Chain A
Amino acid sequence: QSVLTQPPSVSGAPGQRVTISCTGSSSNIGAGYSVLWYLQLPGAAPKLLIYGDTKRPSGVPDRFSGSKSGTSASLAISGLQAADEADYYCQSYDRSLSAYVFGTGTKVTVL
């Protein structure tokens, strides 16, 4: 149902770099609305990681970085750590729906 599509899962070994894609359309990411990323640990609320496509809130390590191109966005996690195992969600605004929308979510597994 979500208008922002993410891969269900990605995995990597400790220390590696992984990327998570978020594919939208011309009514959300492609329309120029900025993308946000959240991390959600099991049983916890989502935590803001990235806003404005690339900006990190205070306290978020620079191992996390965001990018955007066309109708898609990506979150990169470098120097993967066991503590990074979580679900990750992208978010933007959709002008056709007139609503803030979230991605389908991606589970990151550290091998």
Chain B
Amino acid sequence: AQSVTQLDSQVPVFEEAPVELRCNYSSSVSVYLFWYVQYPNQGLQLLLKYLSGSTLVKGINGFEAEFNKSQTSFHLRKPSVHISDTAEYFCAASLKAAGNKLTFGGGTRVLVKP
């Protein structure tokens, strides 16, 4: 069975500072990896996804993530955050054989301070 671990439950960061959200997955087979963002009382929106190819993936709102197979990681980064980036971020993984069932990490709450 696969699992997804987000190492930080909360990340406070000052406006215009960089942020990195850590995500590790466990799977013995190839996985597809996603990052989602959830604003308060809303559903989740896709930030970016890794399917294959280049290990550096660029997403919306200036976010990017790097797939590292040897470390089984898919960390999310943004070089300069805005107040509007305050939200909860979820890492997720799916297996081809799993019927499109995404496994989510526990989420990381980002609080951007002025």
- B is a partner of A: no
Q: Which residues of A contact B (CB under 8 A)?
A: none
